[in-house]
Structure 1
Amino acid sequence: MIELLRKVSLFDQMTDEQLEHILSIAQRRTFPAGTVLFHENDYGAAFYVILKGSIKIFKRSAKGEEKVLTLLQSGDSFGELSLIDGRPRSASAATLEPTSVLVIAEQPFHELLRTHYDITRRIMAELCQRLRDTNQHVHDLTFLDSRTRVIKNLILLANRHGQRSGNLIAIRMPLNYDELAQMAGVQKNVLAEVIRDIEDRGILRLSPNEYTLDLSKLRS
């Protein structure tokens, strides 16, 4: 279990004794695909670290329309925002596949921040990156056309979650058309047109739980 924690960027500089302390204040839980861990506007009672699997963070409109904000995989953490500012959850979180997480309750989380500045600093850096990502997303929605947004989001997924072999990057994630369209801010029929086009050009290959990008063809 300690070796799993070492793969989490928040904890990779900690000693075995410190990691044992993390395990003593956390609960390991496993959820099936499609489980909502919390809803937007819920009270924030816990911080989560993904050990295995993947999570989508999303918002839903009054009409029930869903907008995926980001996708997280093993080693990522989430849920700290409402614990820090004391306000309700700003978005919802759900599993995309069977997922194991470490759950740290509110009080132990705050004690962890007080006693481990390196963890506090990394959480601050993560929150800053999310703000930068939001600013970039607003820019993309304002200035980029639909095709460019779709391709850019595929590249971002590849950079963050992909495994590279030469010019090929495989993204092992069960992401469906609805979620990809939401991330790119396009209608699903527009997404389908772009996907068909880049598949025909050999840039993208799709399988049930994997996407493969060919960088050499993308550059050309």
Structure 2
Amino acid sequence: MIDFLRKVPLFSSLNNSQLTIISNICSKKSFKANTVLFHEKELGSAFYIVFSGSVKIYTAATSGEEKILSLFKTGDSFGELSLIDGKPRSASAQTLEDSVMIALSAPNFLDMLKSNFDISLCIMQELCNRLRDTNQHVHDLTFLDARSRVIKSLIKLANKNGIRSGSVVTIKMMLNYDEVSQMAGVQKPILMQVIRDFQERQILTFLGNEMKLDLAKLRG
């Protein structure tokens, strides 16, 4: 468990004794694909780290329409915000595939933060990074046109979830087109128009559940 925690960005600067403290309060849980880990507006009871698989974080309108905020894969952590401020969850979390989570219960997590300043500081730094990402997303929705938002979302998927070989990034498509359009903040027809254009220019190619993005052709 300590070897895994050391690779988690949230804890990468901690020493072995600090990682041991965290390891002692962790539990590992398996979930089937499409399992909702928690719902928006419910009280937080646990903080999660993805051990394997993937998770989407999203909000839902009263009409049922979803807006995907983030995707998390191995090593990513989420769900700590409502544990820290005691307020309801700001979004929902759902597995995209069969996944294994490392869970820290709210009481154990808060006790750890109270007793270990260095660990608390790491948590605060990660929250600051996420706030900056949120601010950037708001900026994109305000100032970028729809096509630019699609391109930026594809690059974000490539950077976070892809495997690069030269200028080509291979991405396992965990999201369907509706979900990608939600993530980019555009209507699905606009997304499909951009994708068709990219396919014609051989910037994007699809093989099974994988998408290949050629960054060299994209820049060109």
TM-score in terms of structure 1 length: 0.93
Q: CA deviation at 1:8?
A: 1.2
Q: Aligned partner of 1:125: which letter?
A: Q
Q: Aligned partner of 1:31: which letter?
A: F
Output the CA distance in 1 between the equivalents of 2:194 and 2:140: 17
Output the CA distance in 2 between the equivalents of 1:60 and 1:165: 36
Q: CA deviation at 1:10?
A: 2.5
Give the SS at the match of 1:3.
Answer: helix
Output the CA distance in 2 between the equivalents of 1:162 and 1:124: 27
42 and 207 in structure 1: CA distance in 2 versus 1, 3 angstrom threshold: farther
Contact 2:14–2:119 under 8 Å retained in 1: no
1:147-162 to 2 correspondence within 5 Å? 147-162=147-162
Q: CA deviation at 1:58?
A: 0.2
Q: What is the CA deviation profile of residues 36-68 of structure 1, one whole-angstrom value per residue up to 9, with x for unaligned ones?
A: 000000111110011111110000001111000
Give 1:123's aligned residue. 123
Give 1:32's aligned residue. 32
Give 1:182's aligned residue. 182
Q: What is the CA deviation profile of residues 83-105 of structure 1, one whole-angstrom value per residue up to 9, with x for unaligned ones?
A: 11100000000001111111101
Output the CA distance in 2 between the equivalents of 1:169 and 1:21: 37
Give 2:68's aligned residue. 68
203 and 37 in structure 1: CA distance in 2 versus 1, 3 angstrom threshold: same
Give 2:169's aligned residue. 169
Q: Aligned partner of 2:51: which letter?
A: L
67 and 15 in structure 1: CA distance in 2 versus 1, 3 angstrom threshold: same
Q: Which runs of 5+ in 2 are unaligned?
A: none
Contact 2:11–2:122 under 8 Å retained in 1: no
1:23-102 to 2 correspondence within 5 Å? 23-102=23-102
CA RMSD in angstroms comes to 1.6
Give 1:205's aligned residue. 205
Q: CA deviation at 1:186?
A: 0.8
Give 1:11's aligned residue. 11
What's the % identity of the aligned pairs? 56
136 and 12 in structure 1: CA distance in 2 versus 1, 3 angstrom threshold: closer
Contact 2:49–2:76 under 8 Å retained in 1: yes
Output the CA distance in 2 between the equivalents of 1:161 and 1:117: 32
Q: CA deviation at 1:173?
A: 4.3
Output the CA distance in 2 between the equivalents of 1:119 and 1:208: 42
Q: Which runs of 5+ in 1 are unaligned?
A: none
Give the SS at the match of 1:206.
Answer: strand
